[in-house]
Amino acid sequence: MQALPHPSTLRLTRQSLPGSCEVCLAWTSGRLCPACHQRFAAPCNRCVQCALALPQGQTRCGTCLSEPPPFERCLCVADYAFPWDRLITRFKYQQSPELAPLLARCLLQAAMHDQAMLPQAFVPVPLSDRRLAERGYDQAWQLARCLARESGLPTHARALERRFDGRQQALLTRAERLANLRGAFAVPAPMGDFVRDRHLALVDDVLTTGATAHEAATALRAAGAARVDLWVVARTPAPQGQA
Ligand SMILES: [Zn+2]
Ligand SMILES: [Zn+2]
């Protein structure tokens, strides 16, 4: 295995041109001004495996303790709430690829803050061909590409393929979502060497129930990945009263 760079040695290679902050419109050298970054991307205590916000002192949530997911660690920038919900909606549905470097940079900053062990490669959670044709735009690939460019680590658009979409997920419970997606992902034979014995980070925009990430990580592990982490921009918070 190759030696992993420590996050503190990571240098963000591309500086953004001056422009206005995507949130408060203040003039800034990046797309998110330092004040908004501090306010909206402030780290908080989270479950190490699924990034659910937790009270101080707790390291894993009840769900991850009782049913550990196939990913080792989840890294996120913030909860899926203002302004990340708006930024991600724009990024995903209004075809704003210029937001990808900002979101990737925020993720790398979260990794540096956490002193997270960097993966050896990034793997985007793939859309199905049908969904890609509808949307014309693969947000996880855009993110993975920017993460790779900023960190110097490799990525590949087709390291994982999505065989089917499953039914619409929105109204299903977590167990139903898992059943719905079983076998949805696979590592294509030519990508075997890219995956085998490697520490990988799956990349996606949002983590909600984790069913998609669960199935994608299971497919990578089945293909011989040594370890799978999950890097998402935003984590949907637990419903009220449920942590
Ligand atoms: Zn701002
Ligand atoms: Zn958890």
pLDDT digits (tens, 9 = 90+) for 95-138: 788 899 999 999 999 999 988 889 999 999 998 777 787 877 88
In whole angstroms, how far apart are CA 219 and each of 125, 162, 223? 11, 10, 6
- Average pLDDT (151-178) is 83
| Separation of CA 112 and ligand 1 centre (Å) | 21
| Separation of CA 32 and ligand 1 centre (Å) | 5
CB atoms within 10 A of CB 181: 22
| Separation of CA 145 and ligand 2 centre (Å) | 27
- Spatial CB neighbours of 63, under 8 Å, sequence gap ≥ 6: 50, 52
- The ligand that comes nearest to the alpha carbon of residue 64 is 2
Supply the pTM of this predicted model. 0.88
- Average pLDDT (15-28) is 82
Judge whether residue 35 has pLDDT over 90: yes
The pLDDT value recorded for residue 157 is 94
| Separation of CA 242 and ligand 2 centre (Å) | 12
The pLDDT value recorded for residue 51 is 96
Tens-place pLDDT, residues 185-227: 999 999 999 999 999 999 999 998 888 999 999 999 999 999 9
- The ligand that comes nearest to the alpha carbon of residue 74 is 2
Judge whether residue 141 has pLDDT over 90: yes
- Average pLDDT (90-96) is 84
| Separation of CA 36 and ligand 1 centre (Å) | 4
Q: Phi and psi at residue 27, in whole multiples of 5°? A: -70, 130
- Average pLDDT (153-175) is 83
Strand partners, 161: 186
- The ligand that comes nearest to the alpha carbon of residue 48 is 2
Residues whose CB is under 5 A from ligand 2 (ion)? 47, 49-50, 52, 61, 64
CATH entry 3.30.1360 includes domain 45-235: no
- The ligand that comes nearest to the alpha carbon of residue 47 is 2
Tens-place pLDDT, residues 39-89: 999 999 999 999 999 999 999 999 999 999 999 999 999 999 999 999 999
- The ligand that comes nearest to the alpha carbon of residue 24 is 1
- Average pLDDT (137-153) is 94
| Rounded Cα gap, residues 232 and 239, in angstroms | 19
- Average pLDDT (8-17) is 46
| Separation of CA 53 and ligand 2 centre (Å) | 9
- The ligand that comes nearest to the alpha carbon of residue 65 is 2
| Separation of CA 71 and ligand 2 centre (Å) | 10
Query: Average pLDDT over the chain, rounded to whole?
Result: 88
| Separation of CA 46 and ligand 2 centre (Å) | 8
Q: How many residues in the chain?
A: 243
- Average pLDDT (158-173) is 79
Asked if residue 71 lies in contact with residue 47, where contact means CB atoms within 8 angstroms, the answer is no
The pLDDT value recorded for residue 4 is 42
Asked whether the CA dihedral 236, 68, 146, 37 is positive or negative, the reply is positive
Judge whether residue 169 has pLDDT over 70: no
